[in-house]
Structure 1
Amino acid sequence: MTAQIHAGAPPAPHWLDREATVAKPGFNRWLVPPAALAIHLCIGMAYGFSVFWLPLSQSLGIAKSVACPAGAGLLTALFTTSCDWKVADLGWMYTLFFVLLGSSAALWGGWLERAGPRKAGLVAAFCWAGGLLIGAAGVYWHQLWLLWLGPGVIGGIGLGLGYISPVSTLIKWFPDRRGMATGMAIMGFGGGAMIGSPLAALLMNHFKTPDSVGVWQTFVVLGGVYFLYMLGGALGYRVPPHGWRPEGWTPPATRNRMISSGNVHLRDAHKTPQFWLIWLVLCLNVSAGIGVIGMASPMLQEIFGGALIGKPELGFAALDASQKGAIAVIAAGFAGLLSLFNIAGRFLWASSSDHFGRKATYFIFFGLGIALYAAAPTLAHSGDRALFVLAFGIILSMYGGGFATVPAYLADIFGTAYVGAIHGRLLTAWSTAGIVGPVVVNYIREFNKAAGVPADRLYDATLYILAGFLVVGLICNALVRPVNPKYLMPEDESEKLATAQAIPSGPIGGYGIGGGAFDIKAALAWGAVGVPLAWGVWQTLQKALAIFQ
Structure 2
Amino acid sequence: MSSITEPSGNSGSAPFFSKQATVAKPGFSRWMVPPAALAVHLCIGQAYAFSVFNGPLTKVIGITQSSADDWSLTSLGWIFSLAIVFLGLSAAFAGKWLERVGPRRTMFTAACCFGGGFLVSALGVYLHQIVLLYLGYGVIGGIGLGLGYVSPVSTLIRWFPDRRGMATGMAIMGFGGGAMIAAPLSVALMNHFRSATSIGVAETFVVLGIAYFISMTIGALAIRVPPADWKPAGWTPSTTGQNKMISRNHVHIDQALKTPQFYLIWLVLFLNVTAGIGILGQASVMIQESFKDTVTAAAAAGFVGLLSLFNMGGRFVWASASDWIGRKNTYFIFFALGAVLYYLVPGFAASGHIALFVLAYCVILTMYGGGFSTVPAYLADMFGTAFVGGIHGRLLTAWAAAGVAGPVLVNYIRAYEVAQGVAKADAYTMTVHIMAVLLVVGFICNLLIKRVDDKHHMSDAQLAKGA
C-alpha displacement of 1:344? 0.5
The CA deviation at 1:393 is: 0.7
- Per the alignment, residue 3 of structure 2 pairs with none
Question: Once the two structures are superposed, what CA deviation does each residue of 1:286-341 show, in whole Å capped at 9, x if it has no partner?
Answer: 11111011101111122122212xxxxxxxxxxxxxxxxxx222222211111110
Residue 57 of structure 1: how far off its partner (Å): 1.4
User: Structure 1 CA distance, aligned partners of 2:291 and 2:198?
Assistant: 37
* Structure 2 counterparts to residues 274-285 of structure 1, below 5 A: 274-285=261-272
Equivalent in the alignment of 1:247: 233
1:492 aligns with 2:464: no
Determine if contact 1:291/1:441 at 8 Å carries over to the other structure. yes
Indicate yes or no: 2:277 matched with 1:290: yes
1:426 match? 395
Q: Partners of 1:257 and 1:279 in 2: how far apart?
A: 21
Residue 387 of structure 1 and its aligned partner are, at CA, apart by 1.3
Once the two structures are superposed, residues 99-144 of structure 1 have per-residue CA deviations (whole angstroms, 9 ceiling, x without a partner) of 1111111110111111110100000001111111111111111111
Instruction: Give the drift of 1:375.
Output: 0.9
Q: Is the 8 A contact 2:314 2:366 kept in 1?
A: yes
Q: Which residue is 1:337 aligned to?
A: 306
1:37 match: 38
Matches within 5 A, 1:248-263: 248-252=234-238, 254=240, 256-263=243-250
Aligned ranges for residues 318-467 of structure 1 at < 5 Å? 327-467=296-436
Cα offsets for 1:168-214 (capped at 9, x unmatched): 10001001001000001010000010110111111111111222221
Query: Is the 1:132–1:151 contact (alpha carbons within 8 Å) kept by the matching residues of 2?
Result: yes
Q: Which residue of 1 aligns with 2:170?
A: 184
When structure 1 is superposed on structure 2, of 372-381 and 394-403 the one drifting more is 372-381
Q: 1:305 and 2:305 equivalent?
A: no
- Matched residues in 2 for 1:415 and 1:273: separation? 16
- For 1:263 and 1:360, the matched residues in 2 are separated by 22
Contact 2:11 2:20 in 1 (8 A): no
**RCO higher in structure (CA 8 A, sep ≥6):** 1
> Rg: which structure is higher?
1
Q: Is the 8 A contact 2:11 2:22 kept in 1?
A: no
Partner of 1:109: 95
* 2:217 alignment counterpart: 231
* Aligned counterparts, 1:519-534, within 5 A: none
Cα displacement (A) at 1:35: 0.5
> Hey, what does 1:477 align to over in structure 2?
446
CA distance in 1, matches of 2:325, 2:81: 35
| 2:251 paired residue number | 264
Asked if the contact 2:40–2:148 (Cα under 8 Å) also holds between the matched residues in 1, the reply is: yes
The CA distance in 1 between the partners of 2:422 and 2:301, in whole Å, is 24
Q: Distance in 2 between matches of 1:489 and 1:38?
A: 33
2:47 corresponds to: 46
In the TM superposition, residue 451 of structure 1 has moved relative to its aligned partner by: 2.6
Q: Could you say what secondary structure the match of 1:166 adopts?
A: helix
- Within 2, Cα distance between the matches of 1:48 and 1:242? 39
Matched letter for residue 389 of structure 1: V
After TM superposition, give the deviation of residue 10 of structure 1 in Å: 11
- Paired with 1:341 and 1:124, the residues of 2 have a C-alpha distance of 27
Q: Which runs of 5+ in 1 are unaligned?
A: 68-82, 309-326, 499-549
Could you tell me which of 170, 184, 203 is aligned with 2:156?
170
Q: Determine helix, strand or coil for the equivalent of 1:120.
A: helix
SS in 2 for 1:408: helix
SS at match of 2:293: helix
Distance in 2 between residues matched to 1:304 and 1:50, nearest whole Å: 25
Q: How many angstroms apart in 2 are the aligned matches of 1:197 and 1:387?
A: 28
Q: How much has 1:261 moved relative to structure 2?
A: 2.3
- The DSSP-based 3-state class of the residue aligned with 1:307 is coil
TM-score (normalizing by structure 2): 0.95
Q: Which amino acid aligns with 2:238?
A: P
1:494 CA displacement: 2.2
- Structure 2, gaps ≥5 residues long: 1-6
Q: What RMSD, in angstroms, separates the aligned Cα atoms of the two structures?
A: 1.7
Q: Is the 8 A contact 2:113 2:141 kept in 1?
A: yes
**Cα distance in structure 2, aligned partners of 1:445 and 1:91:** 21
Aligned to 2:78: 92
Deviations along 1:337-373, one digit per CA (max 9) or x if unpaired, are 1111011100000000001111110000000110111
Q: Give the Cα–Cα distance (whole angstroms) in 2 for the partners of residues 496 and 119 of structure 1.
A: 20
Residue type of the alignment partner of 2:455: K
The residue number in structure 2 matching 1:150 is: 136
How many Å apart are 1:250 and its aligned residue?
1.5
1:124 and 2:125 aligned = no
**Structure 2 counterpart of 1:116, one-letter code:** G
**Is it true that 1:18 corresponds to 2:4 in the alignment?**
no
Matched residue type, 1:51: V
2:131 and 2:387 map into 1 onto residues whose CA distance is 36
- In 1: Cα distance, 2:461 partner to 2:186 partner: 52
The residue type paired with residue 246 of structure 1 is P
Equivalent position of 1:140 in the other structure: 126
54-63 or 277-286: bigger deviation: 54-63
Q: Matches of 1:418 and 1:288 in 2, distance apart?
A: 29
SS of 1:64's partner is coil
Q: Which amino acid in structure 2 is aligned with residue 344 of structure 1? A: G
1:98, 1:430 within 8 Å by CA — same for their partners in 2? no
After TM superposition, what 4+ stretches of structure 1 lie above 3 angstroms from structure 2?
A: 495-498
Correspondence for 2:4: none
Instruction: Provide the identity percentage.
Output: 61
Q: Which residue of 2 aligns with 1:524?
A: none
Report the 3-state secondary structure (helix = DSSP H, G, I; strand = E; otherwise coil) of the residue aligned with 2:228. Answer: coil
2-structure distance, mates of 1:11, 1:370:
53
User: How far apart are 1:262 and its partner, in Å?
Assistant: 0.8
Contact 2:334–2:367 (CA under 8 A) maintained in structure 1? yes
Q: CA deviation at 1:91?
A: 1.1
Aligned to 1:200: 186
C-alpha separation between the residues in 2 aligned to 1:273 and 1:16? Answer: 36
For residues 187 and 292 of structure 2, the distance between their equivalents in structure 1, rounded to whole angstroms, comes to 27
In the other structure, the counterpart of 1:55 is 56
Per the normalisation by structure 1, the TM-score is 0.81
C-alpha separation in 2, matches of 1:211 and 1:300? 39
Contact (CA 8 Å) 1:95, 1:434: kept in 2 or not? no
